[in-house]
A and B are shown apart, each in its own frame.
Chain A
Amino acid sequence: MTADPVHDLKERHLQCCEGAVHPLEIAAELEAAGIGPGTAGRYRHADVFSLAEELYARVPRRPAALRTPPPESPWRRRAPYACLVAVLFALPSLGLWAFRQSGGPGRGPGVGLAAAAALALVAAATSGREHPAAERLGYALGVAALLALVVAGGGLDAAMAAALASGLGAAEWCARWFRHIGWGHLDAAHSRAEFRERMRPVLPVAVGLYLSALSAITFAALALASALRRAVGGGVAAAVAGTDGTAWATQECTGLLLLLVLLLWRCGRTRDALAALLCCLSAVGTAAALTRSPGPGVPAALLWGCGSTAALLLPYAWAVLLRPESHRAVRQPVLPALPDDGS
């Protein structure tokens, strides 16, 4: 026997010893390798535990030798999904528009309700499977109610309403981009303060991106609609310019609110998202009651309701989404499964 019997053992289990967090982990490994109380005597130890403690003391910790690259971001691929969401949300409003253009028999509330139900279905389908059913239902109803006010309730011009609905695709893209950035910073930041510092500019950038995308979509929709209407070009720019500022402001405010709700929802703050939807709807209702003009009052009520809610929600969401706990992985981390106890 050599002067240092443990040396061979150390070489054989070097990787385990370097990555061990406690001597018991080495003891478990040694036992798996067939070293029991009898064999430990060969290494001049009374039992496996003291042998493991010697190994733990002799080998410097080097966790760098360990595997586990940071987990891949599940939010990396977002464009296909965002396109799908845009198309799905645009379909009901386009269908409604086409139905009204063709002058179908039922111009009453039935068609609008059907469109709202379709929107609720789409919202429920795209809300993500990981949330409880009751919350998904609330979310779908809230989003559908807000969109139905715009699309079917005559809140906005049909082209703008369709643009707003399909703008949810852009919102989806922005929310996923936000999560993706947050995911990266979770693996880079060393403290919560540093994480907050890193995340601070991300939400304004996401909002800016979304609002520009929404404006572009609206512009395109308006141009397309006027081109369709007049069949011959020339009046496109005029038609776009002819849309008044209130409509644009309503469009942007409603869109911003939907983006914030979606962000909160995707970041796992489902109750905040539901509360925001509820606030917004009641604010719209209050504004409608205050303005008291049935026909053209809807855009104004939407503008006031959504605008005030969004103005309150934006700083709140900014503060809340800076926190690391808003950036949890969708799938909860699980304890490693142990081998079945053999019943």
Chain B
Amino acid sequence: MRIALLTESAFPTARSVEGGWCDRLTRGLAEHEFELYALGAGRRDPVPEPLPARLASMRHSGPGGGSTGWLPGCLTGGAALHGLRRRRALAAYRELVGALVEPGAAEGFGPALYALAEAGRGGGLPALLRSGAALGVIEAAWRTPGARGTVGPGSVGEPLVRDALVAVDLLERCLRPLSAPWYGSDGLAGADICHAVGGGLAVLPGLLAKRFHGVPMIVTEHSLHLRERARGYRTAPYRWPVRALLLAFFRLLAREAYQQAGLITPGSAYDQRWQIHCGANPASIRVVYEGVDSEDRPAADPEPTVPALAWFGPIEPYGGLATMLRAFAELRDEAAGEAPEGAPAPVLRVHGEAPAGAASYAEHCRGLARQLFPEDAEAVVFEPDAPSPGAAREQSTIVVFSGANGARPRQLAEAMLSGRPVVATDVGAAREVVGPTGLLVPAEDPRALAAACSALLRDQERRSRLGNAGRLRAQELYAVEPAVAAFRSLYVELVSCWPGRQPATPEVPAVQQPFERTADYWVAARGPVPVEAGAG
């Protein structure tokens, strides 16, 4: 089958594709033909030669969509919309913005989106969406009574001209995939499956391909896009109305995608609650854990002589480092009281990076460490680089994830693969990933964390038992092979549920591969029997 991988990321260089999810998928499923469509890439990003990871082709969303030469269109800016098509596009845009802003109009989002794509087929849509007419549409929508995201006049929630300008530009940026040059028969129309990886804007081409060419779509979200957006926008430099507009856009886009997708594969069962809440049909959800490709590495060497806790996570509020430090102080006090004379005191190795904007919190944590351990500067080591749990395993006795926001399943699986016991907070996907092979403690509870860690530190036999069990569990559940096998059957399941598209010219013998099409395809091609779209 021809499978179109849609991703929001920039053009993946050969280095980032090799060994990444794309590589794992394409190498594992050698029987299919994969094409990568990168939304974030432009005309100038170089196409790596030869194509990495067995990809059949890679395309970007710039004008030309694949070639890298200089195009005459870049000076004149391509075609502009005129007349009837311009009016149609503007009407669709008005509908779209109305669906985002007016409460209770959310149903109109999908039709407006498709109408906009239809009207902008011939190009010129980006220019229209940045023009003064679009600005007027947003301004008028914000001025309708009861519009969402505007809070009474006089307050700072009232939209200013700058907000409209920023909102227009951001919406244009979000809707740019509508005018990507991909929808021809050599592009998405010829694909058998669209596989949108990562959710977010990556589903847009898939939605259009499904709408206009009947290509089924599968949506994979390793981490839930909508949740990340909602969190990321708390620190975004936009004012209230812009934030409301954009979050509404992503929410409705996710809803439309969940409703249209044939199959949805969240990265953990924990995440599927969000998808169901946003309108996904529970019957179409299959949990597929992201594979970790180091399952054949040997378990870590014997434990270090000085007992060490390795802490992983982002150094930010809710990251749990302060909790860990307090728990560690408690642990050291306890160990000093019990341990025989001369036994080395445990140390804490902090592996983590402070994201942008959390520098003050990182400083606070360093200050807290100095304050808690004034006499022993070596007790807490802030590792300068933050390797993955798999790489830092030699120096640790126990791996700890204490964040209240929950560690990512992939990180937990890597830690389990190292053969060290894992202590994690009981939030997010930790319970389903770690299962019975690690210790779970409540979030933000230093005492429970200290008790769990000291229980493990005292009991060598329990440590090795839990470590081994975790390693076996990770090798069985979170390796690459189960993930690839899951997608192999999911692709077939998706296509088998889909009535074949009406072949344009079935009598023309193109280069055909055996079993390229499913049985329904040929049935649909031969007889006039109408087949319900989406049946099954």
Contacts and interface: CB of A to CB of B under 8 A. Distances in A.
Given A192-B135, A333-B166, A134 B161 contact: no
A34 B223 contact: no
16 contacts: A19-B240, A22-B248, A31-B428, A33-B318, A34-B404, A47-B277, A63-B240, A132-B74, A324-B135, A324-B161, A325-B130, A328-B169, A332-B169, A335-B170, A336-B235, A339-B223
A22 B251 contact: yes
A58 interface: no
B501 interface: no
Contact of B232 (A33, A71, A333, A336): A336
Interface residues of B, number: 79
Interface string A303-343: 00000000000000000000111011000111111110111
B247 A22 contact: yes
B490 interface: no
Interface stretch (B148-156, B209-217, B297-305, B523-531): B148-156
B237 interface: yes
A102 to B, nearest CB: 42
Interface string A260-274: 000000000001000
Contacts of B170: 333, 335
B234 A16 contact: yes
A233 interface: no
A64 B236 contact: no
A107 interface: no
B75 A64 contact: no
Contact of B230 (A25, A64, A323, A341): A25
Given A21-B148, A328-B165, A333-B173, 7 more contacts: A189-B161, A190-B159, A190-B161, A332-B173, A338-B225, A342-B408, A342-B410
Given A47-B273, A325-B132, A337 B232 contact: yes
B21 interface: yes
Interface in A272-292: none
Nearest to B149: A21
B349 interface: no
A328 B428 CA distance: 41
A63 B157 contact: yes
Contacts of A3: none
Contact of B160 (A24, A31, A188): A188
Interface string A35-59: 0111000000001110000000000
Nearest to B445: A34
Given A191-B161, A325-B131, A134 B240 contact: no
Contacts of B139: 191-192
B75 A134 contact: yes
Interface string B215-242: 0000000110111111111111111100
Nearest to A274: B75
A187 B165 CA distance: 11
Given A192-B161, A338-B229, A63 B156 contact: yes
Contacts of A271: 77
Ranked 7 nearest A-B pairs via Cβ:
A34-B443, A343-B20, A34-B404, A28-B230, A21-B244, A186-B162, A32-B405
